[in-house]
Amino acid sequence: MRSDHRPRKQPTASCLMRSTGMCRSNTPAIGRWAAAMMMLLSAFLFIAPGARAQSDDANKILKAMSDYMASEKNISLSFDTAVEVITPEVQKIQFASSGHLQIGRPDKIRASRTGGYADVELVFDGKTITVYAKHIGSYAQVDAPGSLDQLIDQLREKFSVALPGADLLMSNVYDALTSDVIKGMHIGRGVIDGAECEHLAFRGQDTDWQIWVEVGGRPIPRKYVITSKGIAAAPQYTLVIRDWKTDEQPSANAFVFAPPKDAKKIEAAALPNIDEVPPPEVKGAK
């Protein structure tokens, strides 16, 4: 390291030629250097535009999906989910659930999910959230007037409910999904449940995710996979969507919760685990 602030002597042309192997007495080095430069130039001219095109295609397809979904006011669908958990022995265990979802934009939803460890229904009528834990016969209600977007934010921030696939329900799916995207790619096409789909892959800081969007005039999401890069063995969450319908008007009581006669109303804080995976074992418990 220099101990003074005197300007460095600018290198001469002969010094630069020597440092890059371009001295006149080293003709083969010139050939190698020129070949390397041509390879770099070719990569920039031919590979880079292709990568940009892939990214542009991915964004275009995702935006078309987002716009289509926002335009649909009444949506019903069925879904299957799979959540991977990594054990202390670094073994992947997958937990599966299935459910049904009905939406009436901008502020109504009824969702049910049944798995091996919870049987839950959520109903929101634009004013009140009701969570009914069928497996224990109890329900809780919380006043939370607002839109569907606000409901999802509240469930995540106030009640610490992860809802990994809920971004697909937001009014602007594109913004919700790409908020921390670093890179996107259009991989090609695949088939999900018999439907041809565009396969897109995106990279973020903490997670990577893939989505399969149906080809044609109905660009709906058919499959969504999230990979957690910050956890050892990179566990995944997988959502597969079936029976997508937009041509059915919801019934008058579609978003009204009517508690069964034997259901017990409890405080929201008293609700037990309603996640897609079982709670961790408590040491010493029998």
Nearest CA to 122 among 152, 145, 150?
A: 152
User: Residue 248: CB partners within 8 Å, gap ≥ 6?
Assistant: 74, 76
Please report whether residue 31 resides in a domain.
no
Please report whether residue 133 resides in a domain.
yes
Please report whether residue 28 resides in a domain.
no
Please report whether residue 131 resides in a domain.
yes
Calpha distance 166→124 (Å, rounded): 14
Strand partners, 192: 195
pLDDT at site 105: 94
Quickly count helices (H) and strands (E) in the chain: 5, 12
Please report whether residue 252 resides in a domain.
yes
| Domain around 186 | 53-270
pLDDT at site 28: 54
Q: What is the mean pLDDT of each run of 10 residues along the chain (286 residues)?
A: 37 30 44 56 45 78 96 96 92 94 95 90 96 92 94 85 88 94 96 97 95 97 95 92 91 93 92 72 44
Are the C-beta atoms of residues 235 and 84 closer than 8 Å to each other?
A: yes
Which of helix, strand or coil describes residue 175?
Answer: helix
pLDDT at site 187: 96
Return the CATH number at 93.
Answer: 2.50.20.10
Q: What's the structural domain count of the chain? A: 1
Please report whether residue 77 resides in a domain.
yes
Please report whether residue 67 resides in a domain.
yes
Locate tokens 């019934």: which residue?
A: 251
pLDDT at site 279: 67
Please report whether residue 2 resides in a domain.
no
pLDDT at site 63: 97
In this prediction the pTM is 0.77
